[in-house]
Amino acid sequence: MSGEGLKDTVIRETWRSPLGESLTFRAAGPEDLDLLTETRIQVLRAANGLGEEEDLSFVSRMSREYYEKALEDGSHRAYLVFDGSAFAGAGGVSYYRVMPTVHNPTGWKAYIMNMYTAPKYRRRGIATKTLDLLVGDAKSRGICHISLEATDEGRFLYKRYGFVPMESEMELQFAGNDS
């Protein structure tokens, strides 16, 4: 279910922003591993308040490894946004399966991540258009449960889009692999 028949679909769309810019949204492929990984690190730095002096080389390597596998097996779809050849933004959705429930009989879920718009392009509808593509991809796979983590900056966008806070989930975190 996660990606059968969909992972090879080439998706490219030209979209005109409210300011009249012609932007290209396209599904990322293996040729985009460097850009996806760089963007992931930018997002993590911004979301966690980390400066350039913070060493994220291990996270970068693991992110690249994740993208290599997940783009190949269809468990992740990423969109890249360009203004000509200039990078303007990105977003991704990961697919995973949990035990089926009454409310989700297939058990398939989606997790939106790595939403990013370059500062020069913010407040132009790019993130909303990216969400449209990601949510559309999830719906095309029959998925009806999509979650995400929201930064303070992105919370308004997600609420306006229809995302609601989850009140029934909890999380237990551990530091590293200290077995």
Residue 121: what pLDDT?
95
Of 153 and 69, the structure prediction assigns the larger pLDDT to: 69
77 pLDDT tier (thresholds 50, 70, 90): very high
Residue 1: what pLDDT?
45
Residue 166: what pLDDT?
85
Residue 36: what pLDDT?
97
Q: What is the pTM of this model?
A: 0.88
pLDDT(50) > 50: yes
User: Residues 78-94: pLDDT tens digits?
Assistant: 999 999 999 999 999 99
3 pLDDT tier (thresholds 50, 70, 90): very low
Residue 177: what pLDDT?
58
Hey, what are 91's tokens? 């977003």
HEC sequence for the chain: CCCCCCCCCCCEEEEECCCCCEEEEEECCHHHHHHHHHHHHHHHHHHHCCCCCCCCHHHHHHHHHHHHHHHHHCCEEEEEEEECCEEEEEEEEEEEECCCCCCCCCCEEEEEEEEEECHHHCCCCHHHHHHHHHHHHHHHCCCCCEEECCCHHHHHHHHHHCCCCCCCCCCCCCCCCCC
